[in-house]
Amino acid sequence: MKTSDPHPIDPQRRIVTVAVALPVRETFSYSVPVHLADQIGVGKRVLVPFGRRRITGYLIGDGSSDRQMDVKHVLDILDDRPLFPAGMIPFFEWIATYYMHPLGQVIATALPAGLNLADVAILSITPSGQKAIGAAQLTPLEERVLPALDKRPTDLRQLQQAVGQPIARALIHQMQRRGWVQVERRIRARPVRPKTVRWVTLSGAGPLTTPLSKPRRVIRQILETEGDLSLANLQARRPGAPALVRAMERDGQVGIFEKAVYRDPFGDPIEPDAPPALTVEQTAAMQTLAPMLGQGFQSVLLAGVTGSGKTEIYLRLTQAALEKGIQVVVLVPEIALISQTERRFRARFGQTVAVLHSGLSPGQRYDQWCRITDGQAPIAIGARSCIFAPFENVGLIIVDEEHDTAYKQEGGLSYNARDLAVVRARHHDALVVLGSATPSVQSWHNTTTGKYATVALTRRINRRPLPAIRTVDLALCRDERGIHRYITPQLRQQIRQTLDDGNQVLIFLNRRGFSAFTICADCRQPIRCKNCDITLTLHQRANALRCHYCGFSRAAVGSCPACGSDNLRLMGVGTEKIEAAMAELFPDARVARMDRDTMTRKGATVKLLKDLKHRRIDILVGTQMVAKGHDFPGITLVGVICADLTLNFPDFRAGERTFQLLAQVAGRAGRGAQPGQVILQTFNPAHFSILAAKHQDFLAFYNQEIGFRKALGYPPFTR
Ligand code: ADP
Ligand code: ZN
Ligand code: ZN
């Protein structure tokens, strides 16, 4: 963004509109005192009085002058430069209206965390309060409050902790009236500021008046040949440099200055890559897409089977955008995936990429944010919140894996980043490309109504075949007990073969709702709902089996509705147990697990993916985290432990989720030179979602699903 911001605020009038980060519908007008007038700018935060508090607000434009008489003053302007460009305000306003969320809170959600200030009341004792200590007329509570305040000023919460009981505000007011305590409102800031490091520069390039000592000559020489250096760098070359440099600064031989640095969230150096020659299909896709850049609003669904080279299209399109001076936002589902796509963008575009996702520290996020507002990074890539990347005028928005539910933000401002991508594109007259191998029913529906254009990639790169998918009926697998019955002979044999061939195996188990259910030991059927034919889930506390779909409930003990046997057995299976079973069955294999439990530590995901890539893992067991967009050529076998799990979800999208998850996880197989195999174990081999996944046939799935949706009045036929 340019520093000469085109904000519409008239400094003569000095009335501004402020959106406060509070649950209020309106925006407010404030006047700007003369001493702050030259700092006004849309997109900056301001400190304003609001009732009895002082709060943060966002400057969003001109104020109305008719109320000029009674408006309050802006107390402070908190930013030297705007945090977001004026061009984003219509987008924020649209969100506020559509999601019925206060504008100031929309903006607060959009900004990187850690920027908001809180206002607290600080209580302190007065001299007459000090005198009152020990006086007879004090209540017991006052007798404890005053000495506590005498020790040090504090806020109400700390005071309550100090005296060990709640304190009514009325008591504080009373003590205030008596002149014993003072209340002062202070701002508690947890500000995130640009990180700076100290740099050293030579000053006085002319001839030296006094000869330098040898150590100083060394420093001078380094700076002469290398130019300005950070103090840390200098210290590395010449231990003891900081003390020397300080002395040299005093003598006017060098200058020390602060230089802003960006905290680099990327651990690894990334090798630059060269773009491959496009395939025929990719070329055709680019011929459709590239001319759309800069030609106004357009939504395109890029439907391409897994491994068909969609990411390469994103990269090429981004390249074409940059050549036209167009700014680009790339959304990817979540952190486990971002390392991959981010890496490919970084390999292609280097430092011009800013990364915004929740894996960054607040400081890192703020830095990345500033690289965008400073105009250093014309590309922003990140998880859902990256839709708020502060570009004045984004011209291309790419949503990778547009079907992914991780784009939904729940709680606070609830939004779907994929939908916002289309909205923002409309506001900026931009091109939005939604890519997926398994498009959402909603998006495909939009192509049938003409709302979205489509571009298809139907073949894998290098004509690699799609993996061969075999279903194995879990109900027919009778001879194994416990966990091992979930590793059918077919799967076991195929794992053995794959390991012997020196390839890698991915085992997928969506543990949710699967950790406990009951199965009949005689007929081997899981206990199903009598209404919905869905496997019942054990609710331990109630000791009941419950249908997550219709709410039907029955006792956990009893007899099998299918065969009458009362030999019911609790099946508890999760990634952890499968991992242990794998290690036991294949002692020669290196087994690892990827799920929310193992991936809590920062960097753990990246490390695991790296191990997988470098073939330090033979079998990876994981939840849906492993299903997403990874590209590991060594994986030739994907085993799905139980394909039915998501079918049990009490959601009209259960069928869609199942199809997507299975098609995606199957798509992880055979991305390298060797063809892939998928074994899909299921209790419902004839279910249309599972059949469609087996044939990787999105349209077959869609045509059946859309019929249901229409008949039952679900989205996309209702909102
Ligand atoms: P998708 O995003 O559709 O799953 P990718 O873009 O990850 O597919 O491509 C799959 C693999 O093919 C990647 O390893 C990628 O580097 C490679 N690839 C993509 N396009 C080409 C191309 N034109 N020539 C050679 N390899 C390609
Ligand atoms: Zn039975
Ligand atoms: Zn039911």
- Give per-residue pLDDT as tens, 693-715: 888 888 999 999 999 888 888 88
With b meaning 16 or more CB within 10 Å and e meaning fewer, what string describes 234-261? bbeebeebbebbeebeeeebbeeeeeee
Q: How far is CA 444 from the centre of its chain?
A: 25
436 within ligand 1 shell (Cβ under 6 A): no
Cα 665 to averaged position of ligand 1 atoms, centre (Å): 17
The owner of tokens 């030991």 is 521
**Separation of CA 313 and ligand 1 centre (Å):** 9
Q: What is the pLDDT of residue 1?
A: 36
CA of 648 relative to ligand 3 center, distance in Å: 9
Mutate which of 311, 344, 457, 674 for ligand 1 pocket (most atoms within 8 A of beta carbon)? 311
The residue nearest atom 15 of ligand 1, judged by CA position, is: 309
Give distance in angstroms: CA of 577 to centre of ligand 2: 25
* Residues 265/371, Cβ–Cβ less than 8 Å: no
Q: What is the end-to-end Cα distance of the chain in Å, rounded?
A: 37
Residue of 302, 42, 307, 80 whose CA lies nearest to 191: 80
Q: Which ligand is nearest to the CA of 529?
A: 3
Q: Which residues of the chain have pLDDT under 70?
A: 1-13, 64-70, 114-120, 136, 185-195, 204-210, 260-271, 335-339, 359, 478-484, 511-517, 524, 532-534, 540-541, 548-549, 571-572, 597-602, 627-630, 646-651, 719
Cα–Cα distance for residue pair 64/556, rounded to 1 Å: 66
| Exposed/middle/buried for residue 673 (C-beta within 10 Å: 0-12, 13-18, 19+) | exposed
Task: Tell me if 575 CB under 6 Å of ligand 1.
Answer: no
Tokens of 460: 């894998």
Print the SS3 string covering 417-436. Answer: HHHHHHHHHHHCCCEEEEEE
Residue nearest to atom 9 of ligand 1 (CA): 309
Nearest alpha-carbon partner for 678 in 431, 465, 481, 374? 465
- Residue whose Cα lies nearest atom 5 of ligand 1: it is 309
Measuring CA to CA, which residue among 82, 181, 110, 212 is closest to residue 417?
110
Q: What angle do CA 592, 593, 595 make, to 5 degrees?
A: 160
Cα 145 from chain centre: 45
> Which residues have a Cβ under 8 Å from the Cβ of 719 and sit 6 or more positions away?
none
CA of 532 relative to ligand 3 center, distance in Å: 4
Q: Evaluate: CB of 689 within 6 angstroms of ligand 1.
A: no
279 lines ligand 1 (CB under 6 A): yes
Compute the distance from residue 460 Cα to the ligand 1 centre, in Å.
8
Which residue, 42, 33, 58, is CA-closest to 8? 42
State the CB neighbour count (10 A cutoff) for residue 94. Answer: 16
Q: Is the CB of 461 under 6 A from ligand 1?
A: yes
Give distance in angstroms: CA of 682 to centre of ligand 3: 19
Q: How many Å lie between the centroid of ligand 3 and the Cα of residue 528?
A: 8
598 vs 576: CA distance, rounded Å: 10
Task: Tell whether ligand 1 has an atom less than 6 A from the beta carbon of residue 644.
Answer: no
Ligand at minimal distance from the CA of 460 is 1
Contact 541, 677 (CB under 8 A): no
Peptide linkage before 265 cis (omega within 30 of 0): no
What distance in angstroms lies between residue 462's CA and the mean position of ligand 1's atoms? Answer: 9
Neighbours of ion ligand 3 (CB under 5 A): 529, 531-532, 547, 549-550, 552
Q: Say if ligand 1 is within 6 A of residue 309 CB.
A: yes
Q: What is the SS3 assignment for 257?
A: strand
| Ligand nearest the Cα atom of residue 537 | 3
Beta bridge partners of 472: 681
Q: Assess whether the C-beta atom of 705 lies below 6 angstroms from ligand 1.
A: no
Contact 383, 415 (CB under 8 A): no
Written as one string, the DSSP assignment of 326-372 is -EEEEE-S-HHHHHHHHHHHHHHHGGGEEEE-TTS-HHHHHHHHHHH
What's the length of the chain? 719
Partners of 45 in the β-ladder: 58
What number does the ligand 1 atom closest to the CA of 344 have? 16
Residue type (1 letter), 537 = T
Does any ligand 1 atom lie closer than 6 A to the CB of residue 276?
A: yes
Nearest ligand 1 atom, CA 304: 3
Query: And the tokens for 294?
Result: 């800069």
The reported pTM is 0.74
Buried b (16+ CB within 10 A) or exposed e, 522-546: bebbbbbbeebebbbbbeeeeeebb
Cα 397 from Cα 329, distance rounded (Å): 5
Pocket test for ligand 1, best of 317, 403, 631, 632 (most atoms within 8 A of CB): 631
Got the DSSP string for 440-497?
A: -HHHHHHHHTTSSEEEEE-S-GGGPPPPEEEEEEGGG--S--GGGGGS-HHHHHHHHH
Helix (H, G, I), strand (E, B) or coil at 646: helix
47 ligand 1 Cβ < 6 A: no
- d(C-alpha 228, C-alpha 238), whole Å: 15
Residue 537, beta-bridge partner list = 546
Distance 527 CA to ligand 2 centre (A): 8
Averaged pLDDT score across all residues of the chain: 83
CA–centroid distance, residue 546 to ligand 3 (Å): 8
Among protein residues, the one whose CA lies closest to atom 14 of ligand 1: 631
How many angstroms separate the alpha carbon of residue 536 from the centre of ligand 2?
A: 14
435 close to ligand 1 (CB < 6 Angstrom): no
Pairing of strands 353-356, 468-473: unpaired
Show the tokens assigned to 176.
Answer: 């205030």
- Our mutation pick for probing the ligand 1 site, out of 313, 344, 461, counting the most ligand atoms within 8 A of Cβ, is 461
Q: What tens digit of pLDDT does each residue of 544-598 get? A: 888 766 778 888 888 888 888 888 877 667 787 888 889 999 999 999 988 776 6
Strand-pair partners of 77 = 46
Alpha-carbon dihedral 657, 661, 664, 669, rounded to 10 degrees: -160
